[in-house]
Amino acid sequence: MKYQIIIFTSLFFIFSCNSSKKESDTPIKGTINVLVDETYKPLIDSEKMIFESHYKEAKVNLFYRPAVEVMEGFANDSFRVLISSIVPDTNALNNFFTVHKFKPKTVAVGKDAVAIVTHNSKKGLQLRVSELQKILSGEITDFSQIKGSKYSGKINLVFDNNKSSTLIYMQDEILKGKPFNANAYAQNSNEEVMEYVSSNTNALGVIGVSWISDESDENSQKFTEKLAIVEIGEDNSPYFYKPQQAYIALHKYPLRRLIQVAVKEGGARLGSGFTNFLTGEYGQKIILSAGLVPAVAQTRVVMTK
């Protein structure tokens, strides 16, 4: 009888611990580490703040890295959610399946864009996609070589990071295999790019648009006041567009991309809960209010008599 009591007590303790451990990580409760492309810092900071204000027992730890490092972190089990414009490739997914016996799910939560910014003295600057390609490759080196430009001076091309998603986007979508301009150089962040551009007359910067798209954000306003946003046009169109919400949504602004989430967990856990929040009503409204385009269309009800 004594041994039965001991066994029963031990089993009860084990099951209680397992149950407690399981319950500590649900879609709205627990702690999770999320690896995020630093391009999306303003947006994801806002998403985290609202998510945690709704779910008091949930803690989302955000770790911001360049896009290349985010993808390298895919194999790191410490991070169960990754947010970037780049999704894991087939090899990464297959390797993950071999180890964990299930494949991560990926979902688009919104649309953003890559923005080209220049010094305030060059307001009204317009670029064709083919001209942007030539700037990136080093074929165009002076503002006077841009068609219709009233400006001159050697172009100083600057990126946020040599491992960033904006650099990868330009290499893959605009250069399409052409070698990159050897004279281009990288800062350490989007903020440093904007600071550099705002104080250098001939600078041309490449950043994620989420840093300047939120008109209600003080930091976004601070930067847009000091910068000129370049209008971009397709080669076969007479029109040029800024990376504004409507033009991204209507596919008129050429330098568009998706904000994507990879969830590396099975079952209903906090990673899935945070991802569902991002694609749900509140998360999508945050994307909308940040001047970006939600993946799920948001409707507005207007009462009429």
CATH for 184: 3.40.190.10
- Range in 133-137, 268-272, 297-301 the model is least confident about: 297-301
Residue 191 resides in a domain: yes
With DSSP H G I counted as helix, E B as strand and the rest as coil, what are the percentages for the chain, rounded to 5? 45, 25, 35
Residues 73 and 130 in one domain: no
- Calpha distance 109→288 (Å, rounded): 11
Residues 144 and 233 in one domain: yes
pLDDT band at 151 (very low <50, low <70, confident <90, very high): very high
Residues 66 and 150 in one domain: no
Residues 218 and 176 in one domain: yes
Residues 243 and 156 in one domain: yes
Cβ atoms of residues 138 and 181 within 8 Å:
yes
Find the mean pLDDT for residues 270-291. 96
Residue 250 resides in a domain: yes
Find the mean pLDDT for residues 267-290. 96
Distance set, CA 50 to CA 220, 242, 286, 295 (Å): 19, 29, 9, 18
Structural domain for 116, as ranges:
112-257
- Calpha distance 60→230 (Å, rounded): 35
Find the mean pLDDT for residues 232-237. 96
pLDDT for residue 280: 97
Residue 277 resides in a domain: yes
Percent of the chain with pLDDT over 70: 89
Residue 19 resides in a domain: no
First to last CA, the chain: 78
Q: Is the pLDDT of residue 10 over 50?
A: no
pLDDT per residue as tens digits for the range 160-212: 989 999 999 999 999 998 899 888 989 989 999 999 999 999 999 999 999 99
Residues 222 and 167 in one domain: yes
- Calpha distance 40→259 (Å, rounded): 9
- By C-alpha distance, which of 9, 31, 10 is closest to 21? 31
Residues 127 and 226 in one domain: yes
Residues 205 and 138 in one domain: yes
Residue 17 resides in a domain: no
Residue 12 resides in a domain: no
Find the mean pLDDT for residues 68-77. 91
Residue 284 resides in a domain: yes
Q: Is the pLDDT of residue 300 over 70?
A: no
Residues 103 and 158 in one domain: no
- By C-alpha distance, which of 65, 66, 54, 62 is closest to 29? 54
Residues 129 and 65 in one domain: no
pLDDT for residue 24: 66
- Predicted TM-score (pTM) of the model is 0.86
pLDDT per residue as tens digits for the range 103-129: 889 999 999 999 999 999 999 999 999
Q: Is the pLDDT of residue 294 over 50?
A: yes
pLDDT for residue 274: 98
- Calpha distance 292→214 (Å, rounded): 8
Instruction: Please give the tally of structural domains in the chain.
Output: 2
The helix (H) or strand (E) run that includes residue 8 is: helix 2-23
Residues 46 and 175 in one domain: no
